[in-house]
Chain A
Amino acid sequence: MPSALPDGLPAPIDGSLPASAFGGPEDPQPPFGFYVHVPYCASRCGYCDFNTYTAAELGGGASQASYADDAIAEIRLARRVLGDADRPVETVFFGGGTPTLLPAADLGRILAAIRDEFGLLPDAEVTTEANPESVDPGYLAHLREAGFTRLSFGMQSARAHVLQVLDRHHTPGRAQECVAEARAAGFAHINLDLIYGTPGETDEDWQASLDAVLAAEPDHVSAYALIIEDGTRIATRIRRGEIPLPDDDVLADRYLMADEALTAGGLGWYEVSNWAADGAARCRHNELYWTGADWWGAGPGAHSHIGGVRWWNVKHPKPYAERVAAGESPAQGRELLTEEDRRVERILLELRLKDGMPLSLLKDRGFAAAEAAVEEGLLEPDKFADRKAVLTLKGRLLADAVVRDLVD
């Protein structure tokens, strides 16, 4: 989650939601998920602008040791805010930061609180992000026992010099070992995250990373172009001319390399930056985001969305801890999405999916733009005939440009 919070309306102190968020009695409940933001890292990576803190950055006040209790307090608040309605949880996702910096027992306690308050569906997907250097077989076994079903490792690259520029501390090969350890611990679903376009990375480095990923046989891969965020160490080094800014054409080539290799390795794209072995391997939690479902984001800086109301928590762990301990909502601000906002969000999110976006979302000008996009080879013509906008490979690389035209 990027560190800058949006501007919005003030949020009420008890976290209560307007009636509109709950829909009418006849409306079907959208799927419901939980996101838990763990805002701690052992050290900060040079490219990262997420809401995360090292022990040194935090100072006193909000500690990792009391974090599980804070998160559980917010989960109980969520129950109060959502009332007595039956909202079984389909997916839970622990992200960060580095969730696995906490003891496995803490993660387990937080998950248990969600289960106790809301109930988990029998086939619920429960994921945690993990840094390859912060887990071992015993830890993973503990997670599996606690009810986790899926792991997402930040591998980033198979090359030491690339990891070094990113300030990642694991050794090449460690992420692949993690996949084997996770399998041994009984995890069926494992993701590896990759980053391409790091300054100094060559095509050959990238190919090596892709080969290494496929050799490890995860059932899911996320591959992201490195985003240079303002205020990060990498941004500073680029500005000073110490390392080169990755060129957009190079990034385009790397994306094509990734899609080719991953497809050949049996992983098909289902979102612009995500590939999975089959339908069951997709990250259902992320699919909730992309299809406008409801989710509660617990933890400092986390975003939530319930029925067209989106809010975000205070960023810093200390005020966060104080608020939830006092039984107050940690929300800093919120927005009420208009019908048009929700239409625009659906276009910008669903267009990124292989399942595509229904053409019924488009107005006249957007539809004309979609027709032109088919002509230009950006949208699949046969899917278009089925009333769906689905990006071609070329279109995936220009998704934002297509969205700009389609929302008109």
Chain B
Amino acid sequence: MPATPVNVPEPSRTDPALIRNFCIIAHIDHGKSTLADRMLQITGVVDPRQMRAQYLDRMDIERERGITIKSQAVRLPWTAPDGRVHILNMIDTPGHVDFTYEVSRSLAACEGAILLVDAAQGIEAQTLANLYLALENDLAIIPVLNKIDLPAAQPEKYAEELAHIIGCEPSDVLRVSGKTGEGVPELLNEAVRLVPAPIGVKDAPARAMIFDSVYDAYRGVVTYVRVVDGQLTKRERIQMMSTGATHELLEIGVISPEPKPADGLGVGEVGYIITGVKDVRQSRVGDTITSMHKGATEPLGGYKDPRPMVFSGLYPLDGSDYPELRDALEKLQLNDAALVWEPETSVALGFGFRCGFLGLLHLEIIRERLEREFGLELISTAPSVVYRVIMEDGTEVTVTNPSEFPGGKIAEVHEPVVRSTILAPSEYVGAIMELCQTRRGNLLGMEYLSEDRVELRYTLPLAEIVFDFFDQLKSKTRGYASLDYEPTGEQMSQLVKVDILLQGEAVDAFSAIVHKDKAYNYGVEMTKKLRELIPRQQFEVPIQAAIGARVIARENIRAIRKDVLAKCYGGDISRKRKLLEKQKEGKKRMKMVGRVEVPQEAFIAALSTDSDGGGDKKK
């Protein structure tokens, strides 16, 4: 195994002709992290004794879920067959549908992409979507089949599939094993051969693109950049071009794979900067950094403000945790420019926050981090998309919470739609079409990727995807389908708000905006579910579903008639008193809706769509 070569070019003094910037596009569990581990070893940047699995996936939450939320860039020296030491910058890309924009910025920092596909599974929708993004960015694509050591590997079959998709010969598809290291040196040689060297103007004002920024408790925000033109040097003052804000450059360097401070970064180089800012919103992905003195006047293209697509109310189970929830959200926001929130009050759930997310996985990650890292117990309301409601008098209302859906004369309701790509074995085409049909989908096209694998493209309302679509898709295809989607705009739809009433009182947390053809079903299911979930009270509790004043479904919780222990003698008294104390604790955790005591668990269960996320987070 080659050791670290001598005469490795230093950061800020590296000839762009020797630099290769590339990323790895892969589905989760197709072995990207393991392959990256081998690259770290083969290039000698990690001491074998310090090697650990999934070296680059720092955060616990990432390691456990097997996904990489935040990307990183690693500088690897590699001696090419011509004997010259090259600098390979491997830029990690987030692997999920919610982070399409982040992916696009990572891709924009590269000239090439390794398309990594599991030789036993073939390409997945997410990978395909990212491949299209890479092709749009004119990246050189290196097709690679991984896990060729597996007995179930079918390299011939999937080489043909990849060749068909990207338009090359099956023999051009490399075969590697991240596990054994087989084929990895050859892959690095191919990266040197196929990925174009970066091109930039050395003497121009500095322009560097931010492709990631991460909050670190000790260092503040660490910003990952790709220098396009000119040079960033340590100790200079830099400017964020989208806001004009300027910062002192406290540290600049490269990751290899630990941070290594350097004198600067030159054309084509990839590294990190630290300015002391405490909030990633001050260092936004896609923004251009330039020097304050004699800086550039034109930013690099492609910057977009993050736009939340899915909203959910987050409420502490214990109302007194509200300040802790606020603090926790503030802390998370330091590291997440896409997370937005504002205080919200629910009649049923008390004080909480309306939070906006990039998508369902983003929502779930935030929720999980709030619970795990901050020890909070939360109720989250059913995820909602953003509706644009136009009243008959021409006024427009933006609705991110179903309970805000206006009454009165509504002219039009617009909802966001996505363009989705579904990949699945061809035997499931019928089931998928049926599902998409019931979810108000519009077939855009269908294509055979190989003999038995099909790509279906649909336009779907985002709201339908948010509501347990992915779980349904998985169950109807026995887990074989994969899904990707991207927002494409909005459409006008026949949408109504269904309210749920307990004893005649609407429970805001249970209101939903649904298509009018589905309102009845929603009402029947929700009232049934609540009848099961809400314990009997001392009086009868009618549960109704209603559109405006029109009741569309009704269930009844009969009054409880018996709530008494049969026996209470000398040996029972302590136990009975302690039981009473426990019941009173339980009572505190009840939410009162009028006179009706609703256990927190009922809210949680009723609000769960049986879907705990979308996209490709599960296999």
Q: Which residues of A contact B (CB under 8 A)?
A: 1-2, 4, 6, 8, 35, 224-227, 248-249, 251-252, 255, 272-273, 286, 289-290, 295, 297, 301-303, 305, 310, 312, 335, 341, 344-345, 348-349, 352, 376, 378, 396-401, 403-404, 407-408
Contacts and interface: CB of A to CB of B under 8 A. Distances in A.
B562 A297 contact: no
Contacts of B569: 1, 286, 289
Nearest to A344: B577
B571 A224 contact: no
Contact of B568 (A252, A303, A352): A352
Contacts of A8: 574
Contacts of B561: 248-249, 252, 397-398
A4 B539 CA distance: 34
B150 interface: no
B53 interface: no
Contact of A349 (B573, B575, B578, B587): B573
Contact of B575 (A4, A225, A302, A396): A4
Contacts of A286: 569
Contacts of B573: 289, 303, 305, 310, 345, 349
B580 A225 contact: no
Given A1-B570, A2-B575, A348-B580, 7 more contacts: A227-B567, A286-B569, A289-B569, A399-B564, A400-B563, A403-B580, A407-B580
Contacts of A6: 574-575, 578
A224 to B, nearest CB: 4
Chain A to chain B: the 6 pairs with minimum beta-carbon distance, closest first: A1-B571, A252-B561, A224-B566, A399-B564, A252-B562, A303-B571
Contacts of A297: 570-571
Interface string B545-587: 0000000000000101111111111111111111010011001
A401 B538 contact: yes
Contacts of B578: 6
Contacts of B584: 404, 407-408
B256 to A, nearest CB: 57
Contacts, number: 103
B563 A401 contact: yes
B110 to A, nearest CB: 59
B583 A404 contact: yes
Nearest to A396: B564
A310 B574 contact: yes
B27 to A, nearest CB: 43
Nearest to A292: B573
A248 B560 contact: yes
19 contacts: A1-B570, A2-B571, A2-B575, A6-B574, A224-B566, A224-B567, A225-B566, A248-B560, A249-B562, A273-B567, A290-B568, A295-B570, A297-B571, A303-B573, A348-B568, A399-B563, A400-B583, A401-B538, A404-B583
Contacts of B571: 1-2, 297, 301-303, 312
Contact of B564 (A272, A301, A310): A272
B537 to A, nearest CB: 9
Given A249-B561, A404-B584, A345 B577 contact: yes
A35 B573 CA distance: 15
Contacts of B564: 272, 396-400
A248 B562 contact: yes
B580 A35 contact: no
B576 A348 contact: yes
Contacts of A398: 538, 560-564
A301 B584 CA distance: 28
Contacts of A401: 538, 560, 563
A341 B564 CA distance: 20
Contact of B570 (A248, A249, A305): A305
Interface centre among B558, B576, B587 (most CB of A within 10 A): B576
A35 B571 CA distance: 10
A353 B565 CA distance: 13
Interface centre among B558, B570, B572 (most CB of A within 10 A): B570
Interface centre among B560, B562, B577, B580 (most CB of A within 10 A): B562
Contacts of A376: 538-539
A400 B583 CA distance: 10
Contacts of A301: 571
Nearest to A399: B564
Contacts of A344: 577, 580
Contacts of B580: 344, 348, 400, 403-404, 407
Contacts of A226: 566
B566 A397 contact: no
A226 B583 CA distance: 21
Interface in B244-301: none
A8 B574 CA distance: 10
A271 to B, nearest CB: 8
A352 B568 CA distance: 9
A118 B347 CA distance: 62
Nearest to B572: A2
B59 to A, nearest CB: 40
B218 to A, nearest CB: 44
A78 to B, nearest CB: 15
A401 B563 CA distance: 6
B538 to A, nearest CB: 6
A4 B572 CA distance: 10
B562 A227 contact: no
A270 to B, nearest CB: 14
A335 B578 CA distance: 12
Nearest to A376: B538
Given A344-B580, A348-B576, A399-B563, A35 B538 contact: no
B555 to A, nearest CB: 17
Nearest to B564: A399
A294 B463 CA distance: 66
Interface centre among B568, B575, B580, B584 (most CB of A within 10 A): B568
Contacts of A251: 562
Contacts of A289: 568-570, 573
A227 B566 contact: yes
A302 B580 CA distance: 22
A370 to B, nearest CB: 14
A349 B568 contact: yes
A337 B496 CA distance: 58
Nearest to A401: B563
B54 to A, nearest CB: 43
Contacts of B587: 404
B174 to A, nearest CB: 57
Contacts of B560: 248, 398, 401
